[in-house]
Amino acid sequence: MGVFEEDDSVRVSTLVKLWVSEGFLKPMNGKSLETIAIEFLKDLIDRNLILVDKVGSTGNIKFVKIHDLLRDLCLNQSKKDGFYHVIGQHAPRGISSLRRVVISRNAPMMEVLDDLQSMPRARSIISEYGRIPCIKYSRLLRTLHAYKFHYFGDESLIKSLASQYVNLRHLAVRVGSMSSIFTSFTRLWNLHILIVSCFEMFTAPADIWRMPQLRHIEMITGGRFYLPEPSSDDVVVMENLLVLVGIANFKCSEEVVKRIPNIKKFGINYFCRRGIEQDDYYCLNNIKCLCKLESLRVDCWDDFVASLYALTFPQSLKKLTLDMNDYFQWEKLLEKIGALPFLEKFKLWYGCFGTGKWEMVEGQFPSLKYLELHSCPSLQHWTAESNSIFPRLEKLHLDDMRQLKEIPTQIGDILTLQKIWLENCGESAVMCAKEIVEEQVELQGEDLPFRVKVWLPRENEAVQSLAGPNFEVYVY
C-alpha cells in the first residue's frame, strides 16, 4: 500500500493484479488467485488496517484507502527490509540491490533516470502517475505498470520488451502503436496480465492463443482491437484466462469458446463490416456455453446484428451491460434477461421500445440489485402487473429518459430499495419518484434509508420546490 500516494483512493482491481503478478499469492483449495486476493484484502479490512473508500453498485469493494500513520509504517518497513524503493526518497541500504522501484507523482525525471540506471536488478517498475523513461532495464523485469497518463516514451523499447524480457508477468502500458507490443510477442511466455492503452486500430497475432499463462487481457482503446480466431492446429486451452475486455468484432465460434472455458469477465464491441451479411456470422449464441461467465458487456453501435435477438445468456451471469444502436428493440430480449437467476447488475443503454412500453411481469429479475436505463427516448410507459417486481433492488438509475412518463409505483414497496437517481429526466418521471418518497415517509417516517436524487440541466422552479430531506434536487 505504500506504493500509492498519501490519501490516494486505491483501485482494488489494480492492487489485486499487482499482488498476482508479484507472486505473493499461492493457489488454495481450488480458488483462483484473484479470489484469494480479495479474501486477504477483506481480512485486512476486518482488522481495520485497510479502509473501504468506495463500494460498487452491488456492494463490491471498488476502492480502498490506508490511514496515514499505517502508510508511514509501510514506508519505514519497506526501507528497513529493502522491499521497494520510492524514487526521491532516501534508501539507507542503497538501491543497487533493490528489486522494486516506485515512481511517485512529483518525482523529477532526472532522479528517475539516475535511480533506474542504478538498479540493474529491478524486477518491478510501478508508476501510477507519470512517465517511465527510455532506458534499458534488467532482463529479469517482471512487472511494468504504467498506462494511465503518459505514453511510454520509446516504441523501440516496447519492442525490446516483447523480445527480451521473457520474465514479464504484468505488462500495463500506454503506447502509440500496437505493433510495438506484438513484435515477438509470444516470447513473453510468462505473461499473466496484459493491459494496453492505445488509439490505433490493430489485429493481434493469432499466436496469442498459444500463451496459456494469460489471465487478464484488457485493451483500453479509442480505436479497434481485433483478435483473430485460433488456428485449428492449436491445442492450447486458455484455462487461466479470466478477463477478456476491449475486443472488436469478436467471433464466438465453438472453437473459441472451447479455448476460454473459465472466462469470468467478457467485453466485446461490434462495428459495421462490409461484406458480412449472415445474421449468425459472429456466433454470439455460443456465449451461453461460457458457464462461468459473471460479467458481460456487449456494444453494438454502427451496424445491426440480428442474431442478438436470439442470444441466450449463461445462467451464471451477475453483471450485464448492453449498449445498442437506436434500432435495437429491447422487447425481444428483456424476457430472457429477466429470467437470469443470479443477475445483480443490469445496464441498458440506447436502443428502443417499439411499443413505447415496458410491461413487467411477476418473477422477473429475482436477484437484481442495480438497474440503469440510459437514453431510451422511445420508452414512455413503464408499468408492472404485480407487486412482486425487483424483490432485491437497491438502486435505480435513470439517465436521459426525457419521454418517460411514469415509474412503476410498486418500486416504492421494495424493502431493499436505497436510492433512485434521475438525471435529465422529464417532470412526469420526477413526480412519480416524489410520490414514491412521500408514500415511504408516510409509512416509515423521515428517517428512512431511502433517498431520491434529481439532476437537472437547467433551473426548474417546479421541481426545485419539491426538494426535501429525502428528495434532493441539483442543477448542473
Express as a percent the part of the chain with pLDDT over 90.
38
Cell of 128: 501510477
- pTM here is 0.90
| Cα angle, residue 312 at apex, residues 307 and 313 outer, rounded to 5° | 125
CA proximity to 437, closest of 454, 424, 460: 454
pLDDT bin (cut points 50, 70, 90) of residue 153 is: very low
For range 419-425, the mean pLDDT: 94
Which range in 106-120, 136-150, 175-189, 320-334 is most confidently predicted, on average pLDDT?
320-334
Pairing of strands 170-174, 193-198: parallel
φ, ψ for residue 101, nearest 5 deg: -130, 140
Confidence band for 393, pLDDT divided at 50, 70 and 90: very high
Please list the alpha-helical segments (H only) found in 106-206. 109-117, 155-164, 179-182
- Taking the C-alpha atoms of residue 57 and residue 176, their distance in angstroms, rounded to an integer, is 34
Residue in 358, 467, 347, 453 with CA at minimum distance from that of residue 403: 358
Residues 6 or more apart in contact with residue 426 via CB below 8 angstroms: 401, 402, 403, 404, 405
Counting runs of H as helices and runs of E as strands, what totals does the chain give? 10, 24
Query: What DSSP letter does each residue of 305-353 carry, written as one string?
Result: -GGGGG----TT--EEEEEEEEEEEGGGTHHHHHT-TT--EEEEEEEE-
Q: What is the overall mean pLDDT for the chain?
A: 85
Q: Range with the lowest mean pLDDT among 39-48, 105-114, 154-163, 386-395?
A: 154-163
Q: Compare 130 and 475 and report the one with higher pLDDT.
A: 475
Kindly calculate the radius of gyration of the chain based on its CA atoms and give it in whole angstroms.
25
Average pLDDT in the 379-398 region?
Answer: 90
279 pLDDT more than 60 = no
Count other C-beta atoms under 10 Å from residue 312's C-beta. 12
Cα(136)–Cα(194) distance, integer angstroms = 20
106: confidence class by pLDDT, cuts 50, 70, 90:
confident
| Structure letter (DSSP) for residue 32 | -
For residues 343 and 282, which has the higher predicted lDDT (pLDDT)?
Answer: 343
**Distant-in-sequence, close-in-space partners of 53: CB < 8 Å, separation ≥ 6:** 9, 10, 63, 64, 65
Do 378 and 356 meet the contact criterion of CB atoms below 8 Å apart?
yes
Say which DSSP state 28 is in. Answer: B
Q: Mean per-residue pLDDT for 221-235?
A: 78
Residue 281 has phi, psi (to 5 degrees) of -60, -40
Per-residue pLDDT at 469: 86
* Cα 444 to Cα 412: distance, rounded to the nearest angstrom: 12
User: What residue has cell string 510468462?
Assistant: 190
Cα 383 to chain centroid distance, Å, stands at 31
- The per-residue pLDDT for range 71-91, each reduced to its tens digit, is 999 888 888 888 888 887 777
- For residue 271, the 8-state DSSP code is -
For residue 357, what pLDDT band results from cuts at 50, 70 and 90?
A: very high
Q: What is the model's pLDDT at position 151?
A: 42
Higher per-residue pLDDT: 317 or 137 = 317
- 219 in Cβ contact with 198 (< 8 Å): yes
User: What is the Cα–Cα distance from 329 to 397, expressed in whole angstroms?
Assistant: 20
Question: Is residue 397 within a helix (H) or strand (E), and if so which, with residue range?
Answer: strand 395-399
The pLDDT, as a whole number, for residue 83 is 86
Q: Which pLDDT band holds residue 343 (cuts at 50, 70, 90)?
A: very high
Half-sphere exposure at residue 274, Cβ-oriented, CA atoms within 13 angstroms: 0
Give the percent of the chain with pLDDT over 70: 89
pLDDT of residue 314: 95
